[in-house]
């Protein structure tokens, strides 16, 4: 009887380890802080953002000055002159907002510079994580700082099983 219990316990433990997944987390922000190129790239981006923000602030001050000058002169201007000055002010304001969008907007100059400078460093980190996971036989790596899955062995991906369970065919995308 004692032998049967030990054998059963051993079998359960063996099967549990066979299905166990090796999971670790990393802190990518902490890793990036250790890379001199990242720090340098971040400083370049900060300097660029500061320079562009100063340009934008100066341009908005010009618009404000134009507005104040217009308000001061408004009583002396003819209707046509008022309309022309208002159009000039509105045009200048639009130009400044377009410039701001060009520099800081979605996929703007700052975003493109960030991709150019930071992406190669992030790719090096991702490659190092993948190599570490392979060497240490780790199945899943999660980023602690962003709660993002950085690496997972393909055999743990249940995406297609869920798609099939929902009655759809994996790989045939909705139109």
For 125-138, what is each residue's pLDDT tens digit? 888 988 888 888 98
* Mean pLDDT confidence for 151-163: 69
Kindly report the average pLDDT of the chain as a whole number.
84
Which secondary-structure segment (H or E) carries 161? helix 159-165
**% the chain with pLDDT above 90:** 50
User: What is the per-residue burial (b if ≥16 Cβ within 10 Å, else e) of 143-161?
Assistant: beeeeeebbbeeeeeeeee
pTM, to two decimals: 0.68
pLDDT at 7: 36
Task: Look up residue 107 and give its DSSP letter.
Answer: T
Tell me: pLDDT of 174 over 70. Answer: no
Strand order across the 23-26 sheet: 23-26, 140-143, 148-152
CA atoms of 41 and 45, how far apart (whole Å): 6
User: Tens digits of per-residue pLDDT, 37-76?
Assistant: 999 999 999 999 999 999 999 999 999 999 999 999 999 9
Which of 40, 25, 30 is CA-nearest to residue 120?
40
DSSP bridge pairs for 149: 142
169 versus 155: which is more confidently predicted?
Answer: 169
């Amino acid at each position: 009887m004692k032998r049967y219990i030990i054998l059963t316990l051993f079998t359960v433990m063996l099967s549990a380890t066979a299905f166990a997944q090796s999971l670790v987390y990393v802190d990518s922000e902490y890793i990036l802080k250790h890379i001199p190129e990242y720090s340098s790239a971040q400083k370049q981006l900060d300097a660029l953002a500061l320079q562009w923000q100063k340009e934008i602030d100066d341009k908005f001050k010009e618009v404000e000055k134009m507005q104040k000058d217009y308000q001061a002169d408004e009583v002396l201007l003819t209707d046509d002159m008022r309309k022309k000055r208002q159009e000039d002010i509105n045009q200048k304001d639009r130009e400044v907002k377009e410039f701001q969008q060009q520099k800081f907007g979605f996929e703007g100059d700052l975003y493109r510079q960030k991709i150019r400078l930071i992406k190669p460093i992030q790719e090096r980190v991702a490659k190092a994580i993948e190599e570490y996971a392979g060497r240490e036989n780790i199945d899943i790596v999660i980023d602690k700082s962003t709660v993002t899955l950085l690496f997972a062995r393909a055999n743990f991906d249940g995406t297609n099983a869920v798609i099939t369970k929902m009655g759809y065919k994996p790989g045939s995308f909705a139109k």
